[in-house]
Amino acid sequence: DIQMTQSPSTLSASVGDRVTITCRASQSIRSSLAWYQQKSGKAPKLLIYKASTLESGVPSRFSGSGSGTEFTLTISSLQPDDLATYYCQQYYSYSRTFGQGTKVEIK
Amino acid sequence: EVYLMESGGGSVQPGGSRRLSCAASGFTFSNYEMNWVRQTPGKGLEWVANISSSGDNTHYGDSVKGRFSISRDNAKTSLFLQMNSLRGDDTGVYYCASGRENGAYFHLWGQGTVVTVSS
């Protein structure tokens, strides 16, 4: 299976800060990457697919970039509603795999 | 309203069986590949199984292959997961999710149903 590694595991930032989360794949996955947001007690929600395409209805402060083995999710101006855990997921291989998650806390 | 709603979770003893269901509404169910994804304390989010839109093709994660079986009834817009030979590490929240681009990523999720495997 393709291993997905996220960093950091936890980050704490202030409202208005720019936040960046990194996801690395154990082999090239081209642009076959999605990002999800999961709030406490809820199901994950799709934010971005094809590494950089914003899902309909997702605020424009979220953006994604990268290809190959290294990807980033950026929140341009952190809002209180962004308190959540964020996951990357590769779909290059049919055995879909997720990163371990990055918990975003508000200072 | 567009939604997926799982049911069938509960407590089961190791070695036992459980059948999960997922009811779909508000979209053309038969157009989409469907998946089960689980969230466990040990492995986090883990893709479990996938079924093609017609139901003809299925794929499974290595940890459940040979024990779990995914199926669907397009006429009743329902998805199922038959889980046999359950183990403690199968404990977790089970989500059904519809997939875009041949089931590649998951754009619609249910609220999840909890399965606890314990003696």
Looking at the complex, does the CB of residue B92 fall below 8 Å from at least one CB of chain A? no
Q: What is the pLDDT of residue B13?
A: 97
Shortest alpha-carbon distance between residue B104 and chain A (Å): 5
Report whether A77 contacts A83 (CB < 8 A): no
Instruction: Name every chain B residue with its beta carbon within 8 A of the beta carbon of A91.
Output: 101, 104-105
Q: What is the rounded distance in angstroms from the CA atom of residue A72 to the CA atom of residue A66?
A: 6
pLDDT digits (tens, 9 = 90+) for B16-32: 999 999 999 999 999 99
Q: What is the rounded distance in angstroms from the CA atom of residue B93 to the CA atom of residue B34?
A: 17
B47 and A46: CB-CB below 8 Å?
A: no
Q: What is the rounded distance in angstroms from the CA atom of residue B48 to the CA atom of residue B63?
A: 8
Q: Torsion-angle region of residue B103: left (phi > 0), alpha (psi -120 to 50) or beta? A: left
The b-or-e profile of A50-69 (16+ CB within 10 A means b, else e) is bbbebbeeeeeebbbebeee
pLDDT digits (tens, 9 = 90+) for A54-90: 999 999 999 999 999 999 999 999 999 999 999 999 9
Pick the residue from chain B with its C-alpha nearest to A43. B111
Shortest alpha-carbon distance between residue A5 and chain B (Å): 12
